[in-house]
Structure formats: C-alpha cells, structure tokens
Amino acid sequence: LQAKPLAGHTVLMTAGPTYEPIDPVRGITNISSGKMGYALARALALAGAKVQLISGPVALPVPYGVERIDVQTAREMHQAVMQRVGQARIFIGVAAVADFRPLDVAADKIKKTGDGLTLNLTRNPDILAEVASLPAAPFCVGFAAESQNLDTYASGKLQAKRLQLVVGNLVQDGMGGDTNQVVLFDAAGSHPLPRASKTEVATGIVAHLAKMLEV
C-alpha cells in the first residue's frame, strides 16, 4: 500500500452547514456539525493531498495541513468554490448547503407584530451541480443525505449530477454525531462501508477514492 496515495492531488471541498440570515440576529441553518467533512479533509491531507476546505460555521479546529476558508451563506460558499475550482483536480461536496434562503434579509430585528410571520424563500445555487457541469470539471464526489430509500436517491444523484462518486448516508445515522454508516456509489455499483467513527469512515472513503484515481 502506497503511504501517500494522493500526493500531488489538489482537493477543493465543502463542509458544515450554511447559515442564511433572516434578520441581524436570526437565520436558517441545519444540524450538520462539520465532523464528517473535517474528518475527510484530515484523511485526504494525511494521504498527501493539498486540501482547501470551504467551511460553513462549525466549532471544529482546522485539521493539520488543511487550508480552511470560512463562509456563512450558500452564496458565499458558491463564490469561494468558483474562485478556486480551476486549480482543483478533485471536488468533494460534504456541506449541507441550504437549498433555500430568505428572499429579503430584514435590516432590523423583526418585531412580533402579528400572530404569524411568513418568510419568502428563494433557491440557492447548487454548487456541486454547477461544478460537475463545468467544461473542465474536476473529479466530482457528492454526498447524499437521505432520510429513506438511500440506494435509489443516492445512485440517482450519481447520474443526475454526472458525478464520479456519491457517498450516501442516512441523516438519522450520520448528521451531527461522531459515527457514520455510508454506502459508496460509483459506475461499478454500490460499496457499503461498516458503521464506524467518522475518522475511520473518512479513511475508507479516501482508500476507495485513491483506487478510483489509480487508473
């Protein structure tokens, strides 16, 4: 086994949640802790890759040898990715990007004037789909967080977004916690990994990735 199988590879990746402001003190986010993405960034760096990690707001230290770029919103994440993707050989989307954001961000704290409040939401850019459809697209790895029918949805994403690899996980398994159980989907089929710590799962994903890149 080669000690640094990804030496010479540049990886651009996203991790964590995004935060979409509603007003100066409130926003929409999700329960992604960033642990899976940070574990993967660390494993990639250990395998010799040069890693740039575009990170939403998380409470985690920067893994050794990884360059972290902090962002809050999906649009900031999108911009940070697009600025750097030209130099990347591999793109990995681990972030739980908000699909929608409030259409208008209130300049002042919203007061409770009525019995209810309606928020108008608008679509955020799909970063992974945009990267995968670039004319000189890098090798693209997507994550799929599903609450049911993992096989159907995750393998569907492989084809729909034209990705080389999809890492599927059930949200009730992996989101927020320290362990995860994933299934890898590529053109050759599906490859389940055993439930393990996110560090071990990350090592398994990197081993699979290194094998795919060997040829």
Residue 23 assigned ligand-binding role: no
Q: Is 12 in the site for ligand PMT (CB under 6 A)?
A: no
Residue 211 assigned ligand-binding role: no
Of 27, 63, 102, 142, the one binding ligand PMT (CB under 6 A) is 142
Q: Which stretch binds ligand PMT (CB under 6 A): 30-38, 59-67, 106-114, 187-195?
A: 30-38
Q: Is 95 in the site for ligand PMT (CB under 6 A)?
A: yes
Nearest residue (CB) to ligand PMT, 5 versus 57:
57
Q: Is 201 in the site for ligand PMT (CB under 6 A)?
A: no
Please list, in sequence order, all residues whose beta carbon lies within 8 angstroms of the beta carbon of residue 203, skipping any fewer than 6 positions away.
Answer: 43
Residue 126 assigned ligand-binding role: yes
d(C-alpha 81, C-alpha 91), whole Å: 9
Residue 61 assigned ligand-binding role: no
Q: Which stretch binds ligand PMT (CB under 6 A): 20-28, 100-108, 119-127, 207-215?
A: 119-127
Q: Catalytic: which of 30, 124, 169, 180?
A: 30
d(C-alpha 198, C-alpha 40), whole Å: 8
180 is catalytic: no
The residues annotated with a catalytic role in the active site are 30
Q: Which residues are annotated as a binding site for CTP?
A: 99, 109, 125-128, 143, 157, 161
Name the site residues for ligand PMT (rule: CB under 6 A): 14, 32-37, 74, 93-97, 99, 124, 126-128, 142-145, 169, 174-176
